[in-house]
Structure 1
């Protein structure tokens, strides 16, 4: 079987950062289990382009529970007429927990998209911020960057499968990219998120892919 042509495809590695690892400020279930596989995928250099995203919050970000008196992590509030989960303080700019994971060789990465840097607005997706005070979701610039390089297909992996990976995949599909999620190279905040995440991806035409098939 001939190798899959990935010359017009981009691999997007979502938020592989220490704060999302076990023991981190906002630990994802088994988040560290995907690090070796993602490292191997980047070292294989199969993709035409590789992008990494990085949660990059200022202190006192609106999504932090400690920015809201009397609120606890994982509570939900209404923000700009949209539901907003309040998170533990995490991925604060220039802290060790916000760095790209040291267990991955990032030398093949063409671009790093830092998101969540506006203190007023959360940002899950690699492509667009969450709804802000103007009621819109401003673009990060990633879609234009990919189109300028004739990318028409994206593969996503990373953290968290039920939040930032899901939102990124949904936006990619809505923007017209053929969209795949490398399911086994993602992990959720909690396993309870997996069933609704699968259902949402199926509904939105997002394909699940196995990283092992990319080398055959």
Structure 2
């Protein structure tokens, strides 16, 4: 059995200057880059919305397929990513969790690679990281969120802390990169 690193939505539109920026979202990139060589399998998820999506009734237009905003952050060492997952690809598809990817089945991919422990990093703690971590637990994976490699949107103050508490209550481990 082995472990894998899943980078959730470290995309331009979720970083400062983007359409739906996470405050200091770009600060997770150096931490993630330092972790890459510690995992035999590195995956990433990306919001990949069509130009017309029900998702944009709730959120500003962001991460439209093939746009610069949908691209991974330019400082992320993307050449280390072996598997890319695209989510939110339908007109009525929110795609918060990487387990909702439409281009492949994440749970099946992890099982085929004999992954038993999934480490999650990325954006945003209170939405896509949380949804992905909770789905990982439901799918039977030991799951750890790396605290200094995630950042929250915080639409309401405390959303990030509340998300971490919900994940911990569900069985997700929380750690810092220095412990890996």
Same fold (TM over 0.5): yes
* 2:32 corresponds to 1:38: yes
Any stretches of 5+ residues in structure 2 without a counterpart?
none
Is 1:28 matched up with 2:22?
A: yes
1:99 equivalent to 2:91? Answer no
TM superposition shift of 1:51: 0.2
CA distance in 1, matches of 2:175, 2:151: 14
Structure with bigger helix share is: 2
The residue that corresponds to 1:74 in the other structure is none
Give the TM-score of the pair, scaled to structure 2: 0.94
| Alpha carbons 2:125, 2:164 under 8 Å: kept | no
TM superposition outliers: structure 1 runs of 4+ over 6 Å: none
* Offset of residue 39 of structure 1: 1.6
Q: Does 1:109 align with 2:103?
A: no
CA distance in 2, matches of 1:150, 1:126: 18
Q: Which of 169, 176, 180 is the matching residue for 1:210?
A: 176
Q: Do 1:188 and 1:194's aligned partners in 2 also have CA atoms closer than 8 Å?
A: yes
Larger radius of gyration: 1
Equivalent residue, structure 1, for 2:163: 197
> Does 2:42 correspond to 1:50?
yes
Which residue of the other structure, out of 64, 68, 86, is the alignment partner of 2:56?
64
Residue segments in structure 1 that go unaligned for 5+ positions in a row: 1-6, 66-85, 130-137
The Cα of 1:140 is off from its aligned counterpart by 4.8
Secondary structure of the 2:80 match is coil
RMSD across aligned C-alpha pairs, in angstroms? 1.6
Task: Return closer, same or farther for 1:139/1:168 CA change in 2, 3 Å cut-off.
Answer: farther
| Aligned positions, number | 178
Indicate conservation of the 8 Å contact 2:99/2:107, yes or no. Answer: yes
Structure 2: distance between partners of 1:95 and 1:198: 31
Q: CA deviation at 1:106?
A: 1.4
Task: Give 2:132's aligned residue.
Answer: 168
Per the alignment, residue 147 of structure 2 pairs with 183
CA contact (8 A) 1:126 1:140 kept: no
SS across alignment from 1:114: strand
Taking the aligned partners of 1:91 and 1:194, their CA distance within structure 2 comes to 21
